[in-house]
């Protein structure tokens, strides 16, 4: 545009398009560039005045919206605030000065502009305003005379308006001596001086920032190196980059990289996973926590078979200890997964600066290392599974640290679990049974009793003591005949048939055989459980089994704590020294061009 009338029409058209034609307000900018030898190099932002009462299409919160819009511009430190106030109003009530004080509390960026000097009441002037006697400002005030509405209507030119302004200030005695702060040319001159001073103040810092950026760019440019024109040169450069990456990865895993003082990194995190997470978690497991006394009694009695056992069998101990060993598999596999994730993180943190400028190479390197580590995770998990299975398949009770023999019985007695019972137990090669002394005493007493019974021709019949019997479901009772005296043994299933041979003979001719044929046995129930009453021997056997399980579990746990980290580092940690670089190089070189 070269005609200012066209410019005015274009501004009005854009305003109506954005804000409407009925006094609407919008924060969208209309940018206008003026090229002229008569203007200074500066950006002037024309902001609306405060509107307290909405009119037309203006919203009800028009005042707060305009205040927010103004503050968005004047809060910037590089902005010069022109606080425009009319001369025919009290300066203390100026909204412009109030907002300027909010955006510029120290007043270092605010210039006061006094307008409408030509319509002040007769006998008054704005001299005190311009001198800063009313409200002082660091940058002072400038008084101007704008075109009136009549001048605008009659298209009075800017040149004529400036001539009228100069004549106005020169003819009024009140403004004599204030030529430096009167008129639009003086305002433009003052703004230009402030701009030059701002440039002078900012130039050293700006120069320093530019130099620092130039140095950084020069370093980055030098890091790119010379352009490799030949294919052989490109291959050498690629191998050098891959070699540096693999060296950085190995150094971080082995702890030879730059030591961090704020957090653990690299191989130190792997050691923390092994010792503070894996080993500590295994040591916190109680192998007897999930084993109840009833489970142990049931296992022991099931192992006795139909004859019962004189010694404590090994089968219950092996069954229970295998269950506890099997529990070590899941945490061991989790440990392997943790180490895999940590190595992947380390590989991502080893991306050198040279890889940053080759995004395709960087992506292929990450994929190659991840695939390599994933291929190592599978055999590591298989090896861990085999280690657990080996421990479960062979229970080595001959281990030097295993607590067995008479020592476990002493421990059980020390805990007070067998102090009430007269029966003493000993551990033999095939299990735990009655001690030789107790067996001899029991055998002697039985022989004496047998001879006594034979000598006296006792007619009493006693059933075998089954103190370790079973409790059946309720509702099963033995059937008896009226002519026979049968006494049940209560919970232990004892039966006592008493009587004499003479009393069993009567005139009707019943014999002893006919009397026995009249006894009817109860049918065995579908579900049998150990009796609720524990004998002293039961308590001792339960304590012994728990001690054996805990003793052997501790042996296996220590073995797992040592073997699992070795297996993981064998398949995941050590191959990075040789396998990872070779595989990364081959896969990257054979892949697409980078």
Q: Produce one character per residue of 13-52: b if its CB has 16 or more CB atoms within 10 Å, e if not.
A: eebeeebeeeeebeeeeeeeeeeeeeeeeeeeeebeeeee
The 10s digit of each residue's pLDDT in 308-355 is 655 566 777 888 889 889 999 999 999 999 999 888 888 877 766 667
Question: Is 518 in a helix, a strand, or coil?
Answer: coil
- Can you tell me the mean pLDDT for 511-525? 66
Beta bridge partners of 529: 471
Burial of 262 (C-beta count, 10 Å sphere; 0-12/13-18/19+): exposed
CA distance 101 to 87: 19
CB atoms within 10 A of CB 288: 15
- Please say whether the beta carbons of 540 and 411 come within 8 A: no
Tokens representing residue 355 in the block: 């890889």
Long-range contact list for 116-121, CB < 8 A, 24+ apart? 116/86, 116/87, 116/88, 116/145, 116/146, 117/87, 117/143, 117/144, 117/145, 117/168, 118/145, 118/168, 119/88, 120/87, 120/88, 121/88
Domains in the chain: ranges and CATH = 4-201 (3.40.50.300), 241-399+570-590 (1.20.120.1240)
CB atoms within 10 A of CB 252: 21
CA dihedral (337, 343, 348, 354) in degrees, to 10, reads -160
Indicate the pLDDT class of residue 214, thresholds 50, 70 and 90: very high
Nearest-5° angle of CA 405, CA 411, CA 412?
Answer: 95
- Can you tell me the mean pLDDT for 491-507? 42
Report the run of H or E that residue 185 belongs to, with start and end.
helix 184-224
Tokens representing residue 273 in the block: 């996973």
Backbone angles phi, psi at 83, to 5 degrees: -85, 100
Taking 3-state DSSP, the helix, strand and coil percentages for the chain, each rounded to the nearest 5, stand at 55, 5, 35
Question: Among 15-29, 47-61, 110-124, 126-140, where is mean pLDDT lowest?
Answer: 15-29
- The per-residue pLDDT for 239 is 81
The 10s digit of each residue's pLDDT in 89-116 is 888 889 999 999 999 998 888 999 999 9
Is the Cα dihedral 227, 233, 235, 236 positive or negative?
Answer: negative
Q: Distances from the Cα of 138 to the Cαs of 74, 110, 187, 190, in angstroms?
A: 17, 8, 15, 13
The 10s digit of each residue's pLDDT in 267-277 is 788 889 999 99
| Residue 494 pLDDT exceeds 80 | no
The 10s digit of each residue's pLDDT in 430-445 is 444 434 344 434 444 4
CA distance 270 to 293: 40
């Amino acid at each position: 545009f070269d005609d200012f009338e066209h410019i005015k029409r274009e501004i009005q058209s854009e305003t109506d398009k954005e804000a409407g034609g009925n006094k609407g307000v919008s924060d969208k900018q209309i940018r206008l560039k003026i090229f002229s030898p008569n203007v200074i190099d500066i950006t002037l932002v024309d902001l609306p005045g405060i509107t307290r009462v909405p009119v037309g299409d203006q919203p009800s919160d028009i005042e707060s919206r305009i205040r927010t819009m103004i503050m968005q511009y004047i809060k910037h430190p590089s902005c010069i605030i022109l606080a425009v106030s009319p001369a025919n109003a009290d300066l203390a009530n100026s909204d412009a000065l109030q907002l300027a004080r909010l955006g510029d509390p120290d007043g270092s960026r605010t210039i006061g502009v006094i307008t409408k000097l030509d319509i002040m009441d007769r006998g008054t002037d704005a001299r005190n305003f311009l001198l800063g006697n009313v409200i002082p400002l660091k940058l002072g005030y400038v008084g101007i005379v704008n075109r009136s509405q009549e001048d605008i209507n009659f298209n009075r030119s800017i040149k004529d308006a400036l001539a009228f302004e100069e004549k106005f200030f020169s003819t009024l005695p009140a403004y004599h001596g204030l030529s430096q702060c009167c008129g639009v040319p003086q305002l433009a001159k003052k703004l230009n001086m402030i701009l030059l001073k701002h440039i002078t103040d900012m130039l050293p810092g700006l120069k320093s920032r530019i130099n620092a950026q130039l140095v950084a760019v020069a370093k980055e440019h030098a890091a790119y190196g010379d352009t490799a024109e030949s294919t052989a040169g490109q291959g050498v450069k690629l191998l050098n980059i891959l070699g540096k990456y693999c060296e950085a990865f190995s150094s971080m895993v082995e702890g030879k990289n730059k030591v961090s003082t704020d957090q653990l990194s690299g191989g130190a995190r792997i050691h923390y996973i092994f010792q503070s997470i894996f080993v500590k978690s295994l040591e916190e497991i109680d192998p007897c926590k999930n084993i109840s006394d009833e489970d142990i009694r049931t296992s022991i009695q099931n192992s006795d078979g139909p004859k019962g056992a004189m010694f404590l069998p090994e089968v219950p101990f092996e069954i229970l200890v295998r269950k506890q060993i099997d529990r070590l598999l899941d945490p061991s596999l989790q440990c392997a997964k943790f180490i895999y994730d940590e190595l992947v993180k380390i590989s991502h943190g080893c991306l050198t600066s040279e890889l940053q400028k080759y995004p395709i190479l960087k992506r292929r390197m990450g994929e190659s290392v991840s695939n390599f580590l994933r291929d190592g995770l599978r055999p590591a998990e298989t090896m861990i599974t085999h280690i657990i299975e080996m421990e479960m398949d062979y229970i080595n009770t001959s281990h030097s640290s295993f607590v067995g023999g008479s020592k476990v019985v002493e421990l059980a007695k020390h805990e007070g679990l067998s102090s009430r019972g007269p029966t003493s137990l000993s551990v033999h090669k095939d299990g735990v049974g009655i001690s030789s002394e107790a067996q001899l005493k029991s055998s002697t007493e039985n022989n004496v009793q047998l001879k006594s019974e034979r000598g006296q021709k006792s007619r009493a019949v006693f059933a075998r003591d089954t103190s370790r019997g079973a409790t059946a479901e309720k509702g099963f009772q033995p059937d008896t005949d009226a002519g026979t005296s049968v006494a049940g043994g209560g919970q232990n299933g004892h039966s006592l048939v008493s009587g004499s041979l003479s009393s069993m003979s009567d005139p009707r001719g019943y014999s002893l055989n006919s009397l026995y044929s009249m006894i009817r046995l109860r049918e065995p129930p579908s579900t049998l459980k150990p009796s609720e009453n524990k004998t002293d021997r039961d308590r001792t056997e339960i304590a012994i089994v728990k001690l054996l399980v805990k003793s052997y579990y501790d042996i296996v746990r220590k073995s797992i704590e040592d073997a699992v980290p070795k297996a993981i580092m064998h398949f995941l940690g050590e191959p990075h020294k040789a396998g990872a670089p070779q595989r990364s190089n081959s896969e990257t070189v054979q892949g697409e061009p980078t």
